[in-house]
Amino acid sequence: MILKTMDGAQALVRCLENEGVEYIFGLSGGAAIPIFDALVTTKTKIKLILVRHEQGAAHMADGYARATGKPGVVLVTSGPGATNTLTGIMTAHMDSVPMIVLTGQTITSMLGKDAFQEADVFGISMPIVKHSYLVKNANEIPRIVREGFHITNTGRPGPVLIDLPKDITQGPFSGELHAEMDLPGYKIDTSFDQKSVLDIAEALSKSRRPVLLAGHGAIISGASVALRSLAEKLNAPVTTTLLGKGAFPETHRLSLGMLGMHGTAYANKAIIECDLVMSVGSRFDDRIVGQPSRFCKDAVRIHLDVDNAEIHKMIRVHHWCVGDARLILEDLAKHVPKLDTADWLKHLDAYKKKYPLKYKKQGGLKMQHILDELNNMTGSQAVISTDVGQHQMWAAQFCKTLKPNDWLSSGGAGTMGYGLPAAIGAQFGRPKERVVAVVGDGGFQMTMCELATACVHKLPIKVVVLNNHYLGMVRQWQELFYEDRKSGVDLEGNPDFAKLADCYPGAKGFTLKRPADVRKILTRAMEYNDGPSVINAECEKTDNVYPMIPAGKALEDMLTEAPKHKMERPTGST
């Protein structure tokens, strides 16, 4: 149907259709009513997913984006509606996730006059977006939407916010729906420096103890196939960051799993002993480098990144190449020989045997046990989202990720409450696949209102609440570094999460208390597919995550088990 005259909001919806938007995650409010109305009057096929809290909308869009590679779209109202999305926007920004956030705004004549539900969202969000717009003319909507979608998912992705005053969205539109972009300061260049690639190839060819370090960038650029061929050609081991999980199959003989603060001992030992480290799309985050001055001090350090500003930011490198990871790796593979790494791999295999990821199955119910079983039952084929804390680190260790976009976790931001809404977004994006949210009792309670959203759409997501009645990671730090003085970590007053789930129409709750029941309960939850299932797993209260590198310490200072002596307080970032 062609509308005779369109308003700004209707033009906006048409533009979103042109960008291939399938879902909008949102919650209405006064300033956004024209846009919500246009979702009806345009008879669009875009589906609106009504959330219960705007933070959930942002995380859903984020989960959808990470699981599909397509930008997620958020639609909220002005003022508190928009500010509630900020945590989600920051989460996406830290982890380079494409997202379009549409915020309603007061009418233009009231801007800056403290109108009802007015917030300077354009200003407030500035440090946590890749780019943002305040629309002043309805006819600019097509250009802005086109630019927004281009910016959000090219180069290094990141969220784009579009603030839409109500008089613009309900005012007349008289422009063209197809508009040209006008971005003189934003050029996507697919070329890269050939000479750097040759230098890197030469450095690699001299290496006997190389390690490839894959980050989120390797996944974003679609470099996993290229990475695997290069690793196999070089016969070089590969470790990944938390967000790089899936860039390289973790069951591959060359995989070292995740490195860093709670990474595998063998990945960290490989980094300590290597003679060359090549980062592919990781930003040498403080969780993986520990003490920057001691990170791979004597090794040749190489950095491939699409973002020029990341080169030398944390770690000074010998060789670097700025560009798309996939294109660089494909080119690099042409110039490298097979390396003589047999001794090196044998050496690392010995570490794998000496320091395996392990836990005790007897005694209390262990989070690791549940995650290990979950991994076995799904054959590592599920999309896993997590919250933040101990359960997240154990999930990263025990739930192996085989392919890109299967691991959704808030890495840079460390946002509690991310897991459930991200799983919902992922399930919308990949309706036929198994999606599991692994959450802690702390994080789950921050966004568990979105169970209603999952119920409305009968999403068969599995929510595994690893419940230790503590903010466990902080408790671990208090035990190790603050003489076990617990402060503000006891989550007394937790509801019975299984009963809570049963209150929601279509959701089903399960209780898991005994190690012997792990497989049985997980199977039952997996078999329930008429809506979300929630497993309340009453886990051992005071288990700690190892290996651990205290913040700011070098990788050499890794603890592979509980320390026998008193620990100094960490001086590194959080």
3-state secondary structure of 438: strand
State which residue, 307 or 502, has the beta carbon closest to other proteins.
Answer: 307
State which residue, 135 or 548, has the beta carbon closest to other proteins.
Answer: 135
Q: How far is the CB of 120 from other proteins (least distance, A)?
A: 10
Q: How far is the CB of 127 from other proteins (least distance, A)?
A: 5
Look up residue 559 and give its DSSP letter: B
Rounded CA-CA distance 292/193 in Å is: 26
Q: How far is the CB of 285 from other proteins (least distance, A)?
A: 15
Catalytic entry in 6, 10, 54, 170? 54
3-state secondary structure of 324: coil
What are the structure tokens assigned to 427, written together? Answer: 């399930």
Rounded CA-CA distance 425/72 in Å is: 8
Catalytic entry in 6, 60, 90, 473? 473
State which residue, 122 or 295, has the beta carbon closest to other proteins.
Answer: 122
State which residue, 151 or 259, has the beta carbon closest to other proteins.
Answer: 151
Q: What are phi and psi of 511, to 5 degrees?
A: -115, 135
Cα angle, residue 386 at apex, residues 249 and 412 outer, rounded to 5°: 85
Binding positions for other proteins, rule: CB under 8 A: 122-123, 126-127, 130-132, 134, 151, 183-186, 307-309, 312-313
State which residue, 82 or 211, has the beta carbon closest to other proteins.
Answer: 82
- Residue among 471, 467, 272, 269 nearest 389 (CA): 471
Task: Please give the C-alpha separations between residue 144 and each of 89, 173, 185, 241, 505, in angstroms, as whole numbers.
Answer: 19, 14, 15, 34, 40
State which residue, 111 or 474, has the beta carbon closest to other proteins.
Answer: 111
Identity of the amino acid at 550: P
- Residue among 297, 313, 331, 337 nearest 196 (CA): 331
DSSP for 326-392, please give it.
Answer: HHHHHHHHHT-PPP--HHHHHHHHHHHHHS-----SSSSPPHHHHHHHHHHHHTT-SEEEE-SSHHH
Residue 6 catalytic? no
Catalytic entry in 116, 136, 206, 297? 116
Is the preceding peptide bond at 547 cis, omega within 30 degrees of 0?
Answer: yes
Q: How far is the CB of 213 from other proteins (least distance, A)?
A: 21
How many CB atoms are closer than 10 A to CB 501?
25
Q: How far is the CB of 271 from other proteins (least distance, A)?
A: 24
Rounded CA-CA distance 72/21 in Å is: 8
Rounded CA-CA distance 70/149 in Å is: 10
Q: How far is the CB of 125 from other proteins (least distance, A)?
A: 11
Q: How far is the CB of 282 from other proteins (least distance, A)?
A: 17
Q: How far is the CB of 324 from other proteins (least distance, A)?
A: 16
State which residue, 187 or 334, has the beta carbon closest to other proteins.
Answer: 187
How many CB atoms are closer than 10 A to CB 375?
20
Catalytic entry in 55, 90, 166, 250? 166
Q: What is the Cα 355 distance to its own chain's centre?
A: 28
**HSE (side-chain half, CA atoms, 13 Å) at 478:** 14
Q: What is the Cα 138 distance to its own chain's centre?
A: 34
Residue 166 catalytic? yes
- Residue among 28, 19, 82, 67 nearest 51 (CA): 28
Catalytic entry in 70, 117, 232, 233? 117
Residue 99 catalytic? no
Rounded CA-CA distance 256/441 in Å is: 30
* Dihedral sign for Cα atoms in the order 319, 325, 329, 332: negative
Identity of the amino acid at 41: T
State which residue, 43 or 187, has the beta carbon closest to other proteins.
Answer: 187
Residue 473 catalytic? yes
Residue 392 catalytic? no
Q: How far is the CB of 139 from other proteins (least distance, A)?
A: 16
State which residue, 193 or 502, has the beta carbon closest to other proteins.
Answer: 193
Helix residue ranges, H only, 25-129: 33-41, 54-68, 80-83, 86-94, 121-124
Q: How far is the CB of 20 from other proteins (least distance, A)?
A: 22
State which residue, 126 or 350, has the beta carbon closest to other proteins.
Answer: 126
Look up residue 339 and give its DSSP letter: P
Rounded CA-CA distance 287/266 in Å is: 16
- Residue among 331, 311, 325, 308 nearest 187 (CA): 308
Query: Annotated catalytic sites, by residue?
Result: 54, 116-117, 166, 473
